[in-house]
Amino acid sequence: MKLRYLLFLAAGLLSSACSTEKVEATNLYQLIPSNTVWLAHVNDWSKVEKAARNSRVYQHLDKLPSLHQISSNWQELKNTLPSDSLALLKDFPDALLCESLSGAEKYDWLLIAPKNDLKFKAWQKLLAAQFEISSSDYTGKEILKLESKSKLVLHLHYDKDYLLLSPSRIPIENSLRQISNPNIWTDDLNLKNLRQTRNNSAVANIFIHLELANDYLKALYKNAQFDYLQHLGDWAVLDLEAEKQDLILTGLINHPQEGFNYPEVFNDVHSDNIDASQIVPQNVASWIHLNVGNIGQYDRSYQSYLEANSLLENHQSLVAKLPAGSTDKILGIIDNEMGVFSAGRSNAQAFHFAYFNYRDEELCKESLESLADSNFIEGYRGHIVRRVKALNLLPRLFGRLFAEMHQPFYVLHNDFVILKAIAVTSLEE
């Protein structure tokens, strides 16, 4: 009798222990589709929405088809659902918003969020009043199709501790396949190390898969090439901050040692003081500065990078088209700083500039005059303005960073050569 009592007691304790055992939370990063181009770890939804509403920068970004799709879907949800129910949609701390390939040159967003205390029946009741709901099965998992009266279509998968929401089934299906894959691609050590650098107090942390960015951007900007991004590294992480009407992005690019990426050109180049800030105007829109330390060392490192990526032969063929001796003339006058910036606008077109500082003023004048158009010379506020005759001098020597400098005007000012691009429709690379 005592034995039976002890067995019943043990069974009861075991049952109680099992019923109170916490189910391990799903790692939301395991749900990210493997063909994701970018993902945002959203730390504060209310600040993201405020930034989208008030930021001048976002008003321009919203013109991009992919971001416009996200904002228009969200706006239509706000218009469709009762205002008191929107709090449920916003209550997703540490949610992931990503965009991945879902067809030929087609990308769709996917929200991956912890469901917290939201009950599935409560969600169905909330959505049923405004959406026509149908259900389908995918590998034993239910995916709901939600269609509003205004023909907004969303797809929803609801599981034990997370939910997936997208305007397309494909990202959700890719996500469900990913979680059952024993090889989780987001466990890549390079990405995990980069994730550890993110600022948790930022509005959001944005991760960009540089190897997939070219095709993504080509789908947004027809006939444009962004293949140089993949030569910067594998991943970039940017912390998003919103201040007044501006967005501020700061972060890191990871360039793994197993591949020779462009940032490694600077490994053996020692930086110095940055004096270029004295020539960059206050209305600068973008500014990329190279502090090369020694132009000869930079050029050797740059050519090593090109050779490692099977680009050196093409580079040499382009340089061969330049006037004889032009390479030595340019390398002989540049000191330790060069870069590009954009500032001002006219007829919706930005003005593009490049610059480098020189070692010796007389040598610089003599070298550039030998490469200039002898038929063009003007004066402006005590400065002599000339025009480079050699086609694509800087792009061929130093790459795509100077792609706008086909046959630029130039002037010498405060130990710097400042070049201004001339608007062109098409010129050979």
| Whole-number pLDDT of residue 2 | 41
**Phi then psi for 30, rounded to 5 degrees?**
-70, -15
Same domain, yes or no: 345 and 268: yes
Which residue has better confidence, 126 or 355? 355
Domain boundary among 209, 242, 275: 242
The answer to whether 360 and 367 have CB atoms below 8 angstroms apart is no
Same domain, yes or no: 327 and 216: no
Same domain, yes or no: 277 and 189: no
**pLDDT digit string (tens) for 346-356?**
776 778 999 99
Same domain, yes or no: 94 and 120: yes
With 60 as the cut, is the pLDDT of residue 427 above it?
Answer: no
Question: Residue 8 domain-assigned?
Answer: no
Domain boundary among 215, 242, 269: 242
- Say what percent of the chain tops pLDDT 70: 83
Same domain, yes or no: 317 and 290: yes
**pLDDT digit string (tens) for 164-178?**
989 999 999 999 988
Compute the distance between CA of residue 193 and CA of residue 240 in angstroms, rounded to an integer.
Answer: 19
Same domain, yes or no: 396 and 349: yes
| Whole-number pLDDT of residue 321 | 93
Structural domain span for residue 115: 28-242
The answer to whether 247 and 288 have CB atoms below 8 angstroms apart is no
Percentages (nearest 5) of helix, strand, coil residues in the chain: 40, 30, 30
Which residue has better confidence, 144 or 1? 144
Distance of CA 281 to the CA centre of its chain: 26
User: For the purposes of burial, counting CB atoms within 10 Å of the CB of 415, is it exposed (0-12), middle (13-18) or buried (19 or more)?
Assistant: middle
Mean pLDDT value of segment 36-56: 82
Question: Residue 138 domain-assigned?
Answer: yes
With 60 as the cut, is the pLDDT of residue 209 above it?
Answer: yes
With 60 as the cut, is the pLDDT of residue 4 above it?
Answer: no
Beta sheet of 416-420, edge-to-edge order: 284-291, 334-346, 349-358, 416-420, 409-413, 383-388, 372-380
- When pLDDT is cut at 50, 70 and 90, the band that residue 160 belongs to is confident
Number of domains in the chain: 2
Question: Residue 15 domain-assigned?
Answer: no
Same domain, yes or no: 278 and 232: no
Question: Residue 44 domain-assigned?
Answer: yes
With 50 as the cut, is the pLDDT of residue 13 above it?
Answer: no
Which residue has better confidence, 361 or 152? 361
**pLDDT digit string (tens) for 276-311?**
989 998 888 889 999 988 899 999 999 998 998 889
Same domain, yes or no: 314 and 211: no
